[in-house]
Amino acid sequence: MIQKLFVTIFLILFSFNNSYANIIRDSEIEETINLVIAPLKTVSGIQDLKIFVINDETPNAFTLGGTIVFIHSGLITKFPDPDVLRGVVAHELGHILGQHISRRQETIDNYTLVAMGTAAIGLATAIGTGSPGVAIMLAGNHVAERSVQAYSRTFESSADQMALKLLGKSHHSSIGMIKFFEQAQVNSKSNLINPYEQTHPLSHDRLLVLKSYNKKSKFSTSQNTKELIYKFHRTSVKLAAYTTALNKLPECDYKENVDEFTHYMKAIACFRVSNFDDALNHVNRLVMKLPKDPYYHELKAQILFEAGKNSALTEYNIACEIKSNDHLMLLGRAIVGINTYTNEPLKLTEFYKDLLFVIEKEPDNLLALYYMALYYEKKGLKAKSYLNSAIIAHKSGNRKNARTLAAEALKELDEKSPDWYKANDIIAANK
């Protein structure tokens, strides 16, 4: 029986305390988020700002320092408003620029950062049962929840002030911050634990300051374009469809594009339960309406692949042609291609090129490195396969496996070749 791969948008990578958190990597979602925060990158001077989305329905955000901000998926699904995301990220940038994170706090486990760069579109494996749900674990690294600093009220007010400056300089409104904090304050009055307030102490005075500033601002109302609002609503629908319990999927109650968003949500919902016929019916309507949309072709490719159809690769080719040089999409195509032609190594060269492109873009992408090792194995290049596996072990912090695999690679590598030096470096670094 051919093992089918359920291609989804998330990959489990980290454990927060005793629970696992999905880090979501998806081309469409990341593109939309980057469009929203692009003005903040410019005015803050942090051009290499990275946003990682955690699969958690509680609206929250935090930073551990450096140039990384974590947001929960619930921040987008429960607040489908670009101003809210931009405002919350601006606040976290306030903590970074204000150096509110201690150096001990800021020193994140290197392997954790490596793992974050690993996930592309995620893969969960349906092991013979046809039902998705078992996640591939490429790295067992940890970001302890205790590492998320509980800020003082002074730091919170300081971060608010910096956020307001950043929003003003970028010609955007603080209305999203107000909306988010108002809801957080409502939640704080309930009997439910408010995760945001645990790390970001709220106060009535903070909200008054935000409202007072907004009244005087030149940008007191939303400045988002219609196109950005459409993209953000669509991203919210996609995230909700993948991450929400099927019996709790929200209604698409937007004023515009309701039919499109409804088909998108239903296509993903059917896909999640392996109802491929209905999933294809919904996604085909989307493709017919927007034939040049790469993400609808990508979803169709994923559905066809899970259904065991070779035509999945055709759809991936269309998606990659429309959105060329998208490394996450190319990684998806490579994964589908290598699994489709697993017994026909002569057809794998094209996907090798895809993997090279991905690894050049994200050298620490363990999923790409894994499929590169698999490619070399299929091509009969055992030494290179062992070397790539050794690199994965090294980047994952598995010293013993790194040494063992590098030693295996050395048995067949030409002495003093570049790969020979790499293998020796790995052994030396993991003693």
Q: How far apart are CA 63 and CA 71, in angstroms?
A: 9
Cα separation, 222 vs 409, in Å, equals 57
Residue with tokens 């400045």: 223
15 three-state secondary structure: strand
**Strand order across the 50-55 sheet:** 10-16, 19-24, 50-55, 68-72, 61-63
pLDDT at 144: 34
Q: Locate tokens 């969960």: which residue? A: 124
Is a pLDDT exceeding 60 seen at residue 199? no
| Cβ 60 vs Cβ 124: under 8 Å | no
Higher-pLDDT residue of 56 and 102 is 56
Section 326-332 average pLDDT: 94
**pLDDT score, position 253:** 77
Q: pLDDT digit string (tens) for 141-195?
A: 333 333 445 556 677 888 899 999 999 999 999 999 999 988 877 766 655 555 5
Most confident of 16-30, 251-265, 319-333, 361-375: 319-333
* Residue, of 189 and 82, whose pLDDT is higher: 82
Average pLDDT over every residue of 268-285 = 96
Selection from 278, 388, 208, 272 nearest residue 9 by Cα: 272
Q: How far is CA 51 from the centre of its chain?
A: 8
C-beta separation of 249 from 258 below 8 A: no
Write down the mean pLDDT value for the chain. Answer: 82
196: Cβ contacts below 8 Å, ≥ 6 apart: 58, 59, 60, 61, 184, 187, 202
- Domains, the chain: 4-216 (no CATH), 226-429 (1.25.40.10)
Phi, then psi, of 250 in degrees rounded to 5: -75, 160
349-374 pLDDT tens trace? 999 999 999 999 988 888 899 999 99
Q: Which of 36-40, 158-162, 307-311 has the highest mean pLDDT?
A: 36-40
Q: What's the confidence (pLDDT) of residue 93?
A: 95
Residues with Cβ < 8 Å from 246, sequence gap 6 or more? 269, 272, 273
Q: Give me the pLDDT at residue 188, please.
A: 66
Q: How do beta strands 68-72 and 50-55 pair? A: parallel
Of 187 and 335, the one with more pLDDT:
335
- Cα(252)–Cα(203) distance, rounded to whole angstroms? 33
Half-sphere exposure of 395 (CA within 13 A, CB side): 23
Write the pLDDT tens digit of every residue in 103-146: 544 444 444 544 444 433 323 322 222 222 222 233 333 333 33
- How far is Cα 31 from Cα 293, in angstroms, rounded to an integer? 14
CA 158 to the chain's CA centroid: 29
pTM metric for this prediction: 0.83
